[in-house]
Structure 1
Amino acid sequence: MNLQLSGRRVLITGGGKGAGAAVVALFREEGAQVLTTARNRPTALPEELFVAADLTTVDGCATVAEAVKARMGGVDIIVHVVGGSSAPAGGFAALGEEEWQQELNLNLFPAVRLDRALLPGMLAQGEGVIVHVTSIQRELPLPESTTAYAAAKAALSTYSKSLSKEVSPQGVRVVRVSPGWIETEAAVALAERLAEQAGTDYEGGKQIIMGALGGIPLGRPSTPAEVANLIAFVASPLAGSITGTEFVIDGGTVPVV
């Protein structure tokens, strides 16, 4: 399928590994002009495609916004993949001020700050697409370990919906993609660690994770490439009338309509 992305100027945050790296690879295959960012550049990624920045900071977001304008002259598509959680297990009592601020700094504020910096250019040209990568955790939080992360992603989702209502009439589409468990490098490492603790193999470790999520009807996590495929489609002209909505890719994990 030709996604009609050739020549589009695309910023992808969190493109150094996992789903973000898969998104970068797919947009490049489709002929887009890609710029991505993370704290450190992967050796396999050409220097001209990358800007090193800490997006949890105001200065880091400003650095990326300036690089977009200087290197690409603006942007047609923004894909906010950056996110994650470093909060400890232990429920609400384990989450102090620092832990809460870290989750918001990583999962909410980069999108808010970069949109604020780059949206005026999209509005001036009368078109653009913003994809916010949320998470099924906003609907299915795990109290033991993901309360702050889930809350930050819920805030991102609400922000995204409100933004779509404001800017869609001016030609800028805003869409959310909500993954469940993705089999990234970090997920593989977690499954292997759980497997070792439980005295089982990698597949057994995967079953432990799926059990913690309440089961995945499909029987497996999504792959980074599958998530990238969905993101590329909703960002493409083929999805030209889609805005303000959220697409879940979780193998059926969320058990409600």
Structure 2
Amino acid sequence: MSDFLSLEGRRALITGGTSGAGAATVSLFKELGARVLTTARSKPKNFSGAAFVEADLTTKDGVRTVVDAVARELGGLDILVNVLGGSSAPSGGFASLSDEEWDKEFNLNFFPAVRLDRALIPGMIAQGHGVVIHVTSIQNRLPLPQATTGYASAKGALNTYSKSISKEVSPKGVRVVRVSPGWIADPGSNGLALRIAEEAGISYDEAVQVIMNTLGGIPLGRPAAPEEVADLIAFLASDRASSITGTEHVIDGGTVPTA
């Protein structure tokens, strides 16, 4: 019996691949036989197992560096997974978000995907096939008003943008799908809780409860693990999902109350 899922020989770029769901996706793609290039602002000391390029994707120059590395290291691309994202905006509602904070949110959570797509999708169209996966967030539907308005807005823009380009490029052989996680159980994703705790003068556990209450709870009783998000990404990138495009795939333990 053959393996259910394989990415053997596929050339993949995975952004944000040194921690959390990004790192789990790099590891799984390698296990499934893909040739993987990943990127971050700096390379962790013990990082191994995939080609790596150091670049700041919040800048145009950083995107050019990564695009050049794709050509040099992979000679083209079959799968683009944009995991990069996050937020460092202060809590305090919309009035606490300066123009600089808004720029940071969109430069991290929206424009890297737009710029990489613009540079790399034409090559996929030319070869007649490709898969683009944008990792968004359930916060495009369930923003946390006190802390993530900017982040949620950027992810909402990424959601709409992804749907639009899927209509344009799917007829040309390039599938575009979205993965929208809820809360992921990874230290790198707990920055919001730490920030709320510090700013509100409460404990970390109390801050976690604040977030849980704002989300309305997680019916499954726990957040997703990075590896579970990677499993979904790998399936969508594979031939097993060859008829899936233009859609959003939520992995949130039931947090979003309606589809």
Match of 1:87 in 2: 89
The one-letter code matched in structure 2 to 1:180 is G
Deviation at 1:47, TM superposition (A): 8.1
Output the CA distance in 1 between the equivalents of 2:203 and 2:67: 47
SS at match of 1:16: coil
Is 1:73 aligned to 2:75, yes or no?
yes
Contact 1:16 1:40 in 2 (8 A): no
The one-letter code matched in structure 2 to 1:252 is G
Match of 1:182 in 2: 184
Aligned length: 255
Contact 2:91 2:196 in 1 (8 A): no
SS at match of 1:247: strand
SS at match of 2:223: coil
Output the CA distance in 2 between the equivalents of 1:105 and 1:160: 16
Match of 2:165 in 1: 163
Deviation at 1:195, TM superposition (A): 7.7
The verdict on how the C-alpha distance between 1:147 and 1:195 changes in structure 2, with shifts beyond 3 A counting, is closer
SS at match of 1:78: strand
Match of 1:17 in 2: 19
Identity over the aligned pairs, expressed in percent?
Answer: 65
Output the CA distance in 2 between the equivalents of 1:188 and 1:98: 23
Deviation at 1:18, TM superposition (A): 0.8
Output the CA distance in 2 between the equivalents of 1:192 and 1:98: 22
Output the CA distance in 2 between the equivalents of 1:249 and 1:24: 18
Match of 2:220 in 1: 218
Is 1:230 aligned to 2:229, yes or no?
no
The verdict on how the C-alpha distance between 1:195 and 1:55 changes in structure 2, with shifts beyond 3 A counting, is closer
Output the CA distance in 2 between the equivalents of 1:104 and 1:230: 25
Deviation at 1:42, TM superposition (A): 1.7
Deviation at 1:207, TM superposition (A): 3.7
Match of 2:98 in 1: 96
Alignment of 1:121-200 (within 5 A): 121-188=123-190, 198=202
Deviation at 1:190, TM superposition (A): 5.5
2:109 is aligned, of 107, 110, 122, to: 107
SS at match of 2:175: strand
Q: TM-score w.r.t. structure 1 length?
A: 0.93
Contact 1:16 1:37 in 2 (8 A): yes
Output the CA distance in 2 between the equivalents of 1:113 and 1:198: 40
The one-letter code matched in structure 2 to 1:242 is I
Output the CA distance in 1 between the equivalents of 2:57 and 2:190: 25
- More deviation in 219-228 or 184-193? 184-193
SS at match of 1:159: helix
Match of 2:60 in 1: 58
Contact 1:53 1:63 in 2 (8 A): yes
The verdict on how the C-alpha distance between 1:219 and 1:206 changes in structure 2, with shifts beyond 3 A counting, is farther
Deviation at 1:44, TM superposition (A): 2.6
SS at match of 1:165: helix
Q: Alpha-carbon deviations, 1:86-112, whole Å to 9, x = none?
A: 110011111111000110000000000
Output the CA distance in 1 between the equivalents of 2:4 and 2:33: 10
The one-letter code matched in structure 2 to 1:116 is R
Output the CA distance in 1 between the equivalents of 2:86 and 2:62: 17
Output the CA distance in 2 between the equivalents of 1:98 and 1:195: 23
Q: What root-mean-square deviation, in Å, do the aligned CA atoms of Structure 1 and Structure 2 show?
A: 1.9
Output the CA distance in 1 between the equivalents of 2:60 and 2:197: 39
Q: Alpha-carbon deviations, 1:4-61, whole Å to 9, x = none?
A: 2011000000001111000101001111000000001122323861000000000000
Output the CA distance in 1 between the equivalents of 2:156 and 2:218: 21
- More deviation in 36-45 or 152-161? 36-45
1:117 is aligned, of 119, 141, 148, to: 119
Output the CA distance in 1 between the equivalents of 2:67 and 2:197: 42
